[in-house]
A and B are shown apart, each in its own frame.
Chain A
Amino acid sequence: GAVVSQHPSRVICKSGTSVKIECRSLDFQATTMFWYRQFPKQSLMLMATSNEGSKATYEQGVEKDKFLINHASLTLSTLTVTSAHPEDSSFYICSAKGMTGGSGNTIYFGEGSWLTVV
């Protein structure tokens, strides 16, 4: 079936630095991917829609200059957390919709990336 892969799965960075998280669709093309964040024991919150070849669309309250999203190809979207602070520590998850065959109606999620800012 369709697979969405994220890297890294865990990252620790120092406050003030930037960190990049990759989201890849491994066996299908995704013109649109989504980025979510999840704080411990809470639900997932949609951050932005990543559009291949164009600017990302951010949800209300999400700082676009802090969370840079680049969707340079049909299989890769990246989320860069700039000038990270401890409050950015969270679980970041990407998703993409399968476009082929029986997976056409299923939205697949990556394995998630744990970010800890110290």
Chain B
Amino acid sequence: ELKVEQNPLFLSMQEGKNYTIYCNYSTTSDRLYWYRQDPGKSLESLFVLLSNGAVKQEGRLMASLDTKARLSTLHITAAVHDLSATYFCAVDLNLNTDKLIFGTGTRLQVFP
């Protein structure tokens, strides 16, 4: 059974600071997604990582994938309040099915 774990589950950080969210998964997968969820809302797609060593950046967020270590990271640079949300990683269980197994989620709160 594929398990996807995120660390930390909750993150409170000051504006301007940097931090990394980790996503570990238990079985082989070459496709990993990062999503953002605001309270009461659905998911917003942030990144799709398709291969080992993939790195993508958008604004203050940068995601990377190490398939050998079964690890993805979401790095936050110089956090701002607007980044406050819950972030989920999700692993594609099987390339032929597009079924996603979601991580536990990281609730990020950025304060002044």
Contacts and interface: CB of A to CB of B under 8 A. Distances in A.
Interface string A63-104: 000000000000000000000000000000101010000000
Contacts, number: 49
Nearest to A10: B40
Nearest to B31: A105
Contacts of A45: 102
B100 A93 contact: no
A106 B49 CA distance: 10
A105 B42 contact: no
B45 to A, nearest CB: 6
A106 B45 contact: yes
Interface string A40-52: 0111111001000
A44 B102 contact: yes
Nearest to B4: A43
A49 B101 CA distance: 13
Interface SS majority for chain A: strand
A106 B103 CA distance: 18
Contact of B42 (A32, A49, A109): A109
B48 A93 contact: no
Interface range on chain A (Cβ under 8 Å from partner): 20 to 34
Q: Which of A41, A42, A109, A111 gathers the greatest number of chain B CB atoms within 10 Å?
A: A109
B17 interface: no
Contacts of B33: 107
Contact of A32 (B43, B48, B98, B104): B98
Interface string B59-101: 0000000000000000000000000000010100000011111
Interface of A: 32, 34, 36, 41-46, 49, 93, 95, 97, 105-112, 114
23 contacts: A32-B98, A34-B98, A36-B102, A41-B107, A42-B105, A43-B88, A43-B102, A44-B43, A44-B88, A44-B100, A46-B101, A46-B102, A49-B97, A49-B99, A105-B31, A105-B48, A105-B50, A106-B45, A106-B48, A107-B100, A109-B42, A109-B43, A111-B41
